[in-house]
Structure 1
Amino acid sequence: MRVILTSRIFSPEPAAASFRLAALADALADAGHEVTVLTSTVPGGGAPSTRPAVTVKRFPVLRDAAGYVRGYAQYMSFDTPLLFRLLASRRADVVVTEPPPTTGAVVRLVCRLRRTPYVYYAADIWSDASESTGAPRWVVRAVRMLELFALRGASAVLSVSEGVSLRLAELGIRDRVTLIGNGVDTDLFGLGSGRAEGDAPYLVYAGTASEVHGAGIFLDAFALAVSERPGTRLVYIGQGAEREAIERAAAALPPGSVHFEPRLAPEAVADWLGGASASLASVRPGQGYDFSFPTKMYAAVACGTPVIYAGVGPGTAFTRLGGVGESVDYDVEAVAAAMVRALDAGPTPARRAGIREWAAANVGSAAVAQRAVAAIAAAARTTPLTAADRR
């Protein structure tokens, strides 16, 4: 079958969506399907890490100051051209679309016009996310309306977690939802060898630091931990709405104890993770987003690095399920105590190997992509296309 995949970001851009969509494109190509990805240009260029058979078509897009496609103006700079790009594309058997909901709405309009089924990849509930950031009510209502419009028109909805599936059911989306799970390229992240910048132990937060995550708690906790374990470091990698505030607050800590990196290539992130005493992840409670799961935890365990998780939701069960880390309340003193324990323990080679082995068996993106391919193939059959239609 012919598949079109639409996403504002794609490999090699370092983001969770890029990794899982690249795995999906590869799985579709490996199954013999014709795959075309409609996405945006990447700052600095670079080739996607997909099979040669996957065709990737890019178009310029507006990015924010951090170089990310985040914000309504940025989304529309991708979605408006996408409308015409889809109309000009060869007829597909099925379209797979990634959020935001504005993209899903464009895909629904074009697919209805061309009588093509589409699949919505629900990696998140965006209207809940907008509400958690304190957006005005009218903005939340508008995002909710667009999201439901995109979801209700889909022949299938791919859910990345039980929490997302339950939230979809609460929104009235039940019968077309397939739980495929989420994962990471365990081969790519399993190559992390650790940083060779001195012997000082460090903790790393790698990924988006948004209002939903509340990653500033790790800086507050580290201020307590570093007083007990002088010479240790805290490393932040990535971007997000709270990044600037965290950087300003870090100035009050001992010089050199907090290190900041921009968004990095997956290989560089793997190197940082591979040498860390622990990786940090969080979901701030009470934001209407308690079902969320930080995918950065997958990358950490793929590198054999234990996780300290602060907050609520499925992340708490994840650390206990595989014995891959520790879950604590979203509390500064509790997090600081967990940091000290992780720094003192220092993951041994045997434990790192055990965590990597567990990750390879349980959170590999290849298995997730295979489940997605099956759901997409079933959705493509919901609207049979004749040979004349496909021309």
Structure 2
Amino acid sequence: MPPRTPTRVAIASRVYAPEPAAAAFRLRAAASALARRGADVTVLTSRTSAAGLAGERGVRVRRWPVLRAKDGTVRGYLPYASFDAPLLGRLLLGRRNDTVLVEPPPTTGTVARLALTIRRTPYVYYAADLVSAAAEGAGFPAPVVALTRALEAFAVRRAAAVVTVNDDLRRHVERLGAAPSRVHVVGNGVDTGVFTLDGPVRDVAPGRSGPLFVYPGTMNDLHGAEVFVEGFRRALPDLPGATLVMVGRGSEVERVAAAGATLEPGSFVGLDAMPGTDVAAIVRGATAALASVRPGGGYTIALATKAVAAAATGTPVVFAGEGPTVDVVTEGGLGHAVPWDADAVADALRTVARGSDGDAGRRAERAAWVQANASLDAVGERVAEIVLAARR
């Protein structure tokens, strides 16, 4: 018998590793899992200047130049269009695939549905978040929310399967018109090969002798990361020598930096986005890692993965906000979950700086819980199984 032809799978996403974004790394985990199962995987993504290795055995990454927003992300109308328009041609004229895994935004899902319907190729939509829900919560004009919801519905209704990360998102997807039998909850995970208990520690506040608090990740209006600047300001008189470090990009970076500049000299450090290994080295040396979700901002149905990634290094977490992250932090003993309020944040910073959260035993327990319950490898395997099952 002739050898069996490997299943051809494409992944269509505006971001992919090594870009420092949760979507980039969950897709790399899915690609690696697909390759381990013998699939021939091609990733159609954007060109990036991010440093670090992204290649995996059996995975080809094809990058296309795109417009990027001021903060360096592929986010906003023109950046989306600069990726989606060429993607239409790449899917229509490129190699024929057995199935395609498609990452939001819904404009990419719409383009993928159009191209793949013509080519009669099934696709799986990875609804780890819903842009329409976020837009509504952020107070976007009603016509924008309606258009976004229509595009999202268009993308999910014809998908052979929809992958999502929790039951709240599953219900949203079903309300958009996806058949319940085609919606799969796979959970959310972090890269426990990068965010590890043991590893190098990077000192980003030389000369400072007090506790170190690190916010590692995107700072958009949905996150409300500025609450940590104000909370830190209120806690600082009780924590001499303390330092607040904000690492990442996003639409709120300038506002956060401006607020940080008003703090005690030397107590605030702002760093650009960087590879996960470097972020992990900074977080490992922190007294606590910080994560937030602004209430009512449309993001409360999603997990703040930066909180779980930080906990994988053993570092305790201070989470401010609402949503499933509260349950994860509480159930996993990952740290402190408080309301999105500067006074509540200040109290949590004082507590974690003075308590036993950073003891070696507690750190090991925290890291072990993440490894057992929120590993990105396990999520990638579940996604790969669904993608391969979608073949005709």
TM-score range, shorter chain: over 0.9
Match of 1:330 among 297, 316, 340: 340
Q: What is the CA–CA distance in structure 1 between the aligned matches of 2:318 and 2:51, rounded to whole Å? A: 34
Displacement of 1:152: 0.7
Q: What is the CA–CA distance in structure 2 between the aligned matches of 1:335 and 1:52, rounded to whole Å? A: 44
Q: What is the CA–CA distance in structure 1 between the aligned matches of 2:329 and 2:31, rounded to whole Å? A: 29
Displacement of 1:342: 0.9
Q: What is the CA–CA distance in structure 2 between the aligned matches of 1:258 and 1:204, rounded to whole Å? A: 10
Q: What is the CA–CA distance in structure 1 between the aligned matches of 2:293 and 2:181, rounded to whole Å? A: 29
Which structure 2 residue ranges, 5 or more long, are not aligned? 1-6
User: What per-residue deviation string (whole Å, max 9, x for no partner) do you get for residues 313-360 of structure 1?
Assistant: 111111111111111112211111001111112602222111111111
Question: Do residues 158 (structure 1) and 168 (structure 2) align?
Answer: no
Structure 2 match to 1:193 = 200
Question: Do residues 21 (structure 1) and 31 (structure 2) align?
Answer: no
Q: What is the CA–CA distance in structure 2 between the aligned matches of 1:295 and 1:69, rounded to whole Å? A: 19
Displacement of 1:168: 1.8
Q: Work out whether residues 156 and 173 of structure 2, in 8 Å CA contact, stay in contact via their aligned partners in 1.
A: no
* Counterpart amino acid of residue 258 in structure 1: F
Give the SS at the match of 2:244. Answer: strand
1:304-343 matched pairs, under 5 angstroms: 304-343=314-353
Identical-residue share of aligned pairs (%): 46
Q: What is the CA–CA distance in structure 1 between the aligned matches of 2:200 and 2:236, rounded to whole Å? A: 25
* Counterpart amino acid of residue 195 in structure 2: F
Q: Work out whether residues 50 and 275 of structure 2, in 8 Å CA contact, stay in contact via their aligned partners in 1.
A: no
User: What per-residue deviation string (whole Å, max 9, x for no partner) do you get for residues 177-201 of structure 1?
Assistant: 1001110110211154322335432
Structure 1 match to 2:383 = 372
Q: What is the CA–CA distance in structure 2 between the aligned matches of 1:63 and 1:329, rounded to whole Å? A: 33
After superposing the two structures, state which structure 1 stretch, 332-341 or 36-45, moved more.
36-45
Structure 2 match to 1:78 = 83
Give the SS at the match of 2:75. Answer: coil
Question: Do residues 64 (structure 1) and 69 (structure 2) align?
Answer: yes
Which structure 1 residue ranges, 5 or more long, are not aligned? 384-391
Structure 2 match to 1:387 = none
How many residue pairs are counted as aligned between the two chains?
A: 380
* Counterpart amino acid of residue 207 in structure 1: G
Give the SS at the match of 1:327. Answer: strand
* Counterpart amino acid of residue 270 in structure 2: F
Match of 2:242 among 226, 232, 243: 232
Match of 2:267 among 247, 257, 278: 257
Q: What is the CA–CA distance in structure 1 between the aligned matches of 2:47 and 2:230, rounded to whole Å? A: 37
Normalising by structure 2, we get a TM-score of 0.94
Q: What is the CA–CA distance in structure 1 between the aligned matches of 2:49 and 2:74, rounded to whole Å? A: 11
Structural RMSD (CA): 1.4
Normalising by structure 1, we get a TM-score of 0.94
Q: What is the CA–CA distance in structure 2 between the aligned matches of 1:347 and 1:170, rounded to whole Å? A: 43
Q: What is the CA–CA distance in structure 2 between the aligned matches of 1:352 and 1:287, rounded to whole Å? A: 32
Structure 2 match to 1:35 = 41
Displacement of 1:287: 2.6
Q: Work out whether residues 234 and 257 of structure 1, in 8 Å CA contact, stay in contact via their aligned partners in 2.
A: yes
User: What per-residue deviation string (whole Å, max 9, x for no partner) do you get for residues 350-377 of structure 1?
Assistant: 2211111111111111110111111112
User: What per-residue deviation string (whole Å, max 9, x for no partner) do you get for residues 54-96 of structure 1?
Assistant: 0111110101122111111000000000011111211111011
After superposing the two structures, state which structure 1 stretch, 158-167 or 13-22, moved more.
158-167
User: What per-residue deviation string (whole Å, max 9, x for no partner) do you get for residues 209-267 of structure 1?
Assistant: 11111111111110111111121011101011211111111222101111100001111
* Counterpart amino acid of residue 68 in structure 2: R
1:1-391 matched pairs, under 5 angstroms: 1-43=7-49, 47-48=53-54, 50-173=55-178, 174-190=180-196, 191-196=198-203, 197-198=206-207, 199-345=209-355, 347-380=358-391, 383=392
Displacement of 1:44: 5.5
Give the SS at the match of 2:266. Answer: coil
Q: Work out whether residues 64 and 71 of structure 1, in 8 Å CA contact, stay in contact via their aligned partners in 2.
A: yes
